Amino acid sequence: AQSVTQLGSHVSVSEGALVLLRCNYSSSVPPYLFWYVQYPNQGLQLLLKYTSAATLVKGINGFEAEFKKSETSFHLTKPSAHMSDAAEYFCAVSDPLPGGSQGNLIFGKGTKLSVKP
């Protein structure tokens, strides 16, 4: 079964610094991977997704993630953090169902990003 591990439940960076949020997955089949962001008191919003096309995926708000099969990783990065990036970030893998239809999303535990002025 698929699973996702996010290293670090809390990450703190200074404004303007590099953001790196780590995600490792395990999957018995080629995975589809997602990053979602959750702002306080809001639902989850898709940042980006990997669907077996380009390994470097660009998302909204300047975020990107690189799929590395050899490392079973899908780390999320942003070159320069902004105060508005403070939120909780979830990595997820799509778990295919019998017949290959809609997969359940298996979420990691989340990483809370703080941005210091």
Question: Applying CB under 8 A, which residues contact other proteins?
Answer: 32, 36, 41-46, 49, 51, 90, 94, 96-97, 100-105, 107-110
By residue count, the chain amounts to 117
Q: Which is nearer to other proteins, 70 or 101 (CB)?
A: 101
CA angle 23, 19, 77 (to 5 degrees): 55
Task: Decide: 9 and 110 in contact? Cβ < 8 Å.
Answer: yes
Task: Decide: 72 and 25 in contact? Cβ < 8 Å.
Answer: yes
- Strand-pair category, 10-14 with 111-116: parallel
CB of 63 to other proteins, least distance (A): 15
Q: Which is nearer to other proteins, 20 or 97 (CB)?
A: 97
Q: Which is nearer to other proteins, 73 or 94 (CB)?
A: 94
Q: Which is nearer to other proteins, 63 or 81 (CB)?
A: 63
CB of 44 to other proteins, least distance (A): 4
SS3 of residue 71 by DSSP: helix
Dihedral angle, C-alpha 23, 60, 42, 97, nearest 10 °: -50
CB of 117 to other proteins, least distance (A): 27
CB of 45 to other proteins, least distance (A): 7
